[in-house]
Amino acid sequence: MKIKADTTVCIGAGMCALTLPEVFDQSEDEGTVVLLRETAPEGQEEAVRRAVTLCPSGAISAS
């Protein structure tokens, strides 16, 4: 599963980083999403989908 993040859309809510800190972080300067991995770790696909669903701005996607 490939993960994408659009920092221009991100509002820095942090739901992604709270849901799956192995994949998502937040930049220290702006608080926007930082992808730590571009693909979902094995067995974490459902958690990635949950993070996508919880993102209030729609800044992250996975396919």
| pTM of the predicted protein model | 0.93
What six digits make up the tokens of 33?
């999403």
Distance of CA 46 to CAs 1, 27, 30, 31, 63, Å?
10, 24, 27, 24, 12
What six digits make up the tokens of 52?
């996508």
List the domain boundaries for the chain.
Answer: 3-62
CATH of the domain spanning 3-62, picked from 1.10.760.10, 3.40.50.150, 3.30.70.20, 1.10.3720.10? 3.30.70.20
Please report which confidence band the pLDDT of residue 45 belongs to, taking 50, 70 and 90 as the band edges: very high
What six digits make up the tokens of 59?
């800044």
Contact 22, 50 (CB under 8 A): no
* pLDDT digit string, tens, across residues 3-43: 999 999 999 999 999 999 999 999 999 999 999 999 999 99
Who's near 22: CB < 8 A, 6+ residues apart? 36, 37, 41, 44
